[in-house]
Amino acid sequence: MSILGIDVGGSGIKGAPVDTDSGRLLAERLRIPTPRGGRPADVAEVIARMAEHFDWQGSIGCALPAVVKNSVTLTAANIHDDWIGCDAGALIGRATGCPVSLINDADAAGLAEMRFGAGRDQPGVVIVLTVGTGIGSAVFVDGKLVPNTEFGRLEVRGKEAEARASDRVRKDKDWSWERWAERFGECLGSLESLFWPDLFIVGGGVSKKHDRWGPHLDVRTRVVPAALLNEAGIVGAAMAARR
């Protein structure tokens, strides 16, 4: 089945038609910068342009950096506060004229990783973390998603995990990979003591550098990098729309 997958981020909005059976993109991915301020109406307009670009009339799956319940966005990270309490599903539906289903961006990336990437056939409790500007999370129990976890908000030594160990923090502080691994490892350690997962999958920009930070982690759980890199959000958004 083909569904238009869209991944809304603080700096860019990416989209492509996805074959949800294979996880493959059916056309080259399009990226349009997020309109300044990231207001709902402006983002919806960009998504409508994207649907037009792909000449799309079918279902759309859209991933957002927000907690999403019943197509309403309940939080907003790196996008405008007007998303809080916004019926984003209805807004994007009106703008595109297509049926739209919404999902948190890390949950979307997690769905794609579990089906087509590093989490394939992984039983038990798997925690997927996406590390970029923020830290997003997705939890799977025997392959089934527990939606809307926000582990980036977990307090670690008096500070949110996201403020302690996101990739933005690493870049801002100009930390070595070893130094970042130490901070990130503390966050994994806290999650470990609460959830005792069987596997951590780490996605986002840092996943490409796993060989630099992986060896410096001091945690008991197996930690593997995500396999799908840039496309996980788009693919997962489309998969969620299919469900």
In the complex, which residues of this chain contact ligand BGC (CB under 6 A)? 65-66, 75, 77, 104-106, 130, 134, 136, 150, 152, 162
For residue 69, the SS3 value is strand
Give the nearer residue to ligand BGC in terms of CB position, either 150 or 186.
150
User: What is the DSSP-derived secondary structure letter of residue 81?
Assistant: G
Give the nearer residue to ligand BGC in terms of CB position, either 98 or 241.
241
For residue 118, the SS3 value is coil
- What distance in Å separates the CA atoms of residue 216 and residue 186, rounded to the nearest whole number? 12
Torsion, Cα 214 216 221 227, to 10 degrees, reads -10
Give the nearer residue to ligand BGC in terms of CB position, either 56 or 225.
225
- What distance in Å separates the CA atoms of residue 161 and residue 150, rounded to the nearest whole number? 10
Write down the least CB distance from residue 186 to ligand BGC, Å: 18
> What would you report as the CA-atom Rg of the chain, rounded to the nearest whole angstrom?
17
Write down the least CB distance from residue 22 to ligand BGC, Å: 25
Structure tokens at 170: 């690493």
The dihedrals phi and psi of 54, each to the nearest 5 degrees, come to: -90, 5
Give the residues across from 12 on adjacent strands: 33
Write down the least CB distance from residue 180 to ligand BGC, Å: 17
Write down the least CB distance from residue 166 to ligand BGC, Å: 8
Give the nearer residue to ligand BGC in terms of CB position, either 71 or 75.
75
Write down the least CB distance from residue 64 to ligand BGC, Å: 8
Give the nearer residue to ligand BGC in terms of CB position, either 98 or 152.
152
Write down the least CB distance from residue 31 to ligand BGC, Å: 16
Give the nearer residue to ligand BGC in terms of CB position, either 64 or 92.
64
For residue 217, the SS3 value is coil
Name the residue among 181, 186, 111 with its Cα closest to residue 155. 186
Write down the least CB distance from residue 162 to ligand BGC, Å: 6
Give the nearer residue to ligand BGC in terms of CB position, either 98 or 135.
135
Structure tokens at 128: 């997927």
Name the residue among 76, 80, 123, 108 with its Cα closest to residue 204. 108
